[in-house]
Amino acid sequence: MHTKLQTASGNEARWCIHVAGAPFVFYPAYFQQWRYGGSCMQLRRHKQREYLFFALLALFVLVPGVPHLQAQGLSFTDVPAGYWAADEITRLAEAGVVNGRASGIFAPDDPVQRAELIKMIVADFEAEGLDLPTAGQEAGQNCGNFADVRPAAWYYSYVQQACQSDIARGYGSTFGPAAPVTREQAVTMLMRAFRMAIKAPAQAPALPSGFADAASISAWAREAVATAVALDLVSGYQDHTLRPGAVLSRAEAAVLLVRFSDRATQQAAQNATGQGTDPAGTGTDTGTGTGTGSTGTDTGTGTGLGGNPGTGNGTGTDTGTGTGTGTGIVQVPTQPVALAVLGYATVDYPGDTGSLQSIQNHGQQLAFIANFTYQVTADGMLLGRPSSALVAAAQAAGVKPLAVVSNYVNDIGTFSTSLIHTLLNSPAQQVILINNIKNALEQNGYAGVNIDFENVPATDRNALTAFMRNLAQALRPQYLVTIALPAKTYENPADNWSGAFDYAAIGEACDFVDIMTYDEHWLVGPPGPIASYDWVEQVIDYAEKAIPPQKIMLGIGAYGYDWTTGVRRGQLVRQVDIPTLLKAHGGQLQWSDDARESYYTYTAGGSRHQVWVEDDKATAERIALAQGRGLFGIAIWRLGHEDEGFWSVIAPRP
């Protein structure tokens, strides 16, 4: 046996032990197998553990006959040797920072959730001996009051720590533990932890150059992203993009975390010996940083943004300070320009306040409401009365209200094919209708219109397109022109449900469109997913060929259906009513890996029931999909059907 102390990349100390036969392992050190046998141990700075390590090391090296500790060999079946993030995942797993999932898998490609990332940051920084002090009363004053973070939850203490240290903030009364995390969100959290650990202030925001989508970085994330890129902690993709709104995977989160914590550990060690400083600075070509000198009266050194050391004269008798400059091209990653959220708002019966309460409680997460208001007549008139309460609530919350105009007929309880056919083929009545719509928007404080024409005959395809163009010409740009489109995965102009809707032509006429990606299986038909994940992806694949993604909203249903075996028609089940259903019949929701949606089966009155529902978990997956595909937003049908957990996976509007 012999030992050797060497310096590895990043100036991290590694004590390498060459032992014939078996590797030497001591938690929380990080080991790598040597090519020629033996092990390489990377020390993990964790307060007093290093001293314990050296004591044990001396025992093993100096005292013969002591048996060697064996590595447990943590591994995941879906993270093979050679996988691009294997080293980082293994390191974090051995330290207890990350855990696998069922059947020995890590699920590296799954979106990382807010609670998971928060736990990873807090646990790893603690394992590295990096302090995350409280940021102050103002930052952490609501940390114990998140409605969706219960004291019994596994992530409760981590969220508390992250909130009190101002690493992550909630969305008003909620935190969103199950929400997916975007690249810019993750970088912002990590940079806050980094600064807290090395006690360095933030700099003025800078918009980096060199990336095609740099301008899409949210204003609140620019400084963190710019600094991370300048420090080479974050880099863009080969197509020179940062994709700030792209959802981060579990593997990507592991790699980013290791980069940040390793650099923080290195910086903290340099600060302790009088070198280094705040590595942050601003600018696109040249960065600046300030350094704290070593104890004494001599010279301190600082690390500039581009990584080149600078020097300055120390001041005082204890600590010297210096300023260094370096050059570096600042590149940047992105996050959600959080998805724009539209909620359909209705008053289904006198005294129905479900939509109103959703707007009042979650207005900060909405960008638009679409008030189901008007029904057209064959002669171009509008029936219905706008809800002044819904419009006022939306305006008070800074939400833009849209008026829904549809061909729904109350007397027949559905969308009228004959009515819309007559109207679309009557140019004079169309002129009357467009004028009436414009007057209604002006008189009632609406920001625009949402057209919801359904059951349109396929033969009226050109007529519908012409109407939307005429409507846009009359209303834009003073008012927004939007439409609800039926979901389809391919073009079939003869289809009786979707054939009338020319995606490309209508998308060009509108400010944005809402694609109704729900009712893949509906209440009059066989049971099945409301919107299976693969089907939703296929709809987006087709839509993006015709409509720019920045004009597309993905429809999300806050409901499900309860089908009874042998009964032709199912029953609507609101998302908020699911707990009551489970309590009444026992059992719990099951998750379909194929549909990526929840379902539930039960027996009542001797009949077998099957329920499918878009719940919080399904919503989070579709939000991640929308973000990953660069869509404009999501549209919820409808406000008042959702439960509180639904909002935990939706970010506040920008």
Grade residue 207 by pLDDT with cuts at 50, 70 and 90: low
pLDDT, residue 654, reads 62
Q: Which CATH number fits domain 340-559+615-647: 1.10.940.10, 3.20.20.80, 3.40.50.2000, 3.90.1150.10?
A: 3.20.20.80
DSSP letter for 102, please.
Answer: G
φ/ψ of 174, rounded to 5, equals -125, 160
What percentage of the chain exceeds 90 in pLDDT?
Answer: 51
Cα separation, 345 vs 363, in Å, equals 12
Q: Is 480 strand, coil or helix?
A: strand
DSSP letter for 347, please.
Answer: -
Cα separation, 210 vs 222, in Å, equals 14
Q: What is the distance in angstroms between the CA of the first residue and the CA of the last residue of the chain?
A: 59
Residue 183, classified by CB atoms within 10 Å of its CB into exposed (0-12), middle (13-18) or buried (19+), is: buried
**Domain ranges across the chain:** 2-62, 101-327, 340-559+615-647
At residue 20, does pLDDT exceed 50? no
CB atoms within 10 A of CB 53: 19
**What is the overall mean pLDDT for the chain?**
79
| The token pair that represents 106 in the structure block | 């890590």
What percentage of the chain exceeds 70 in pLDDT?
Answer: 75
At residue 476, does pLDDT exceed 50? yes
Inter-residue contact 581 to 611 (CB < 8 Å): yes
Inter-residue contact 359 to 394 (CB < 8 Å): yes
CB atoms within 10 A of CB 154: 10
Cα separation, 70 vs 26, in Å, equals 9
pLDDT, tens only, 249-284: 999 999 999 999 999 888 888 776 654 444 333 333
Beta-bridge mates of residue 513: 483, 552
* Range in 133-142, 412-421, 535-544, 620-629 with the lowest mean pLDDT: 133-142
pLDDT, residue 182, reads 87
- H-assigned helices in 483-604: 503-509, 533-546, 578-585
Q: Is the peptide bond before 486 cis (omega within 30 degrees of 0)?
A: no
Higher-confidence position of 354 and 292: 354
Contacts of 509 (CB under 8 A, 6+ apart): 465, 468, 469, 471, 472, 481
Q: Is 401 strand, coil or helix?
A: strand
At residue 296, does pLDDT exceed 50? no
pLDDT, tens only, 162-192: 888 889 877 666 788 888 888 888 999 999 9
Among candidate residues 206, 195, 201, the one with its CA nearest the CA of residue 331: 206
Higher-confidence position of 429 and 137: 429
What is the residue whose two structure tokens read 């959730």?
113
Higher-confidence position of 563 and 46: 563
At residue 158, does pLDDT exceed 70? yes
pLDDT, residue 170, reads 75
pLDDT, residue 372, reads 95
Question: DSSP letter string over 5-48?
Answer: EEE-GGG-EEEEEE-SSS----TTSEEEE-TTSSEEEE----TT
Inter-residue contact 187 to 333 (CB < 8 Å): yes
pLDDT, residue 515, reads 98
CA dihedral for 273, 275, 277, 280, sign (positive or negative): negative
Cα separation, 223 vs 162, in Å, equals 20
Inter-residue contact 343 to 369 (CB < 8 Å): yes
Inter-residue contact 449 to 481 (CB < 8 Å): yes
pLDDT, residue 465, reads 97
CA separation, residue 521 to residues 286, 525, 534, 561, 609 (Å)? 57, 7, 14, 9, 15
φ/ψ of 253, rounded to 5, equals -60, -40
pLDDT, residue 652, reads 78
Q: Is 432 strand, coil or helix?
A: helix
Cα separation, 390 vs 369, in Å, equals 9
* Range in 137-146, 204-213, 306-315, 392-401 with the lowest mean pLDDT: 306-315
Question: Helix 183-198 crosses helix 222-230 at what angle (to 10 degrees)?
Answer: 70
Cα separation, 111 vs 88, in Å, equals 17
Inter-residue contact 503 to 543 (CB < 8 Å): yes
Cα separation, 357 vs 340, in Å, equals 20
Cα separation, 652 vs 637, in Å, equals 18
pLDDT, residue 365, reads 94
| The token pair that represents 652 in the structure block | 């506040």
pLDDT, tens only, 609-621: 999 999 999 999 9
CA separation, residue 3 to residues 17, 20, 50 (Å)? 4, 12, 17
Cα separation, 241 vs 215, in Å, equals 11
Residue 538, classified by CB atoms within 10 Å of its CB into exposed (0-12), middle (13-18) or buried (19+), is: middle
Inter-residue contact 307 to 326 (CB < 8 Å): yes
What is the residue whose two structure tokens read 């638009």?
368
φ/ψ of 359, rounded to 5, equals -65, -45
Beta-bridge mates of residue 563: 610
At residue 9, does pLDDT exceed 50? no
Among candidate residues 486, 496, 489, the one with its CA nearest the CA of residue 518: 486
CA dihedral for 150, 154, 158, 159, sign (positive or negative): negative
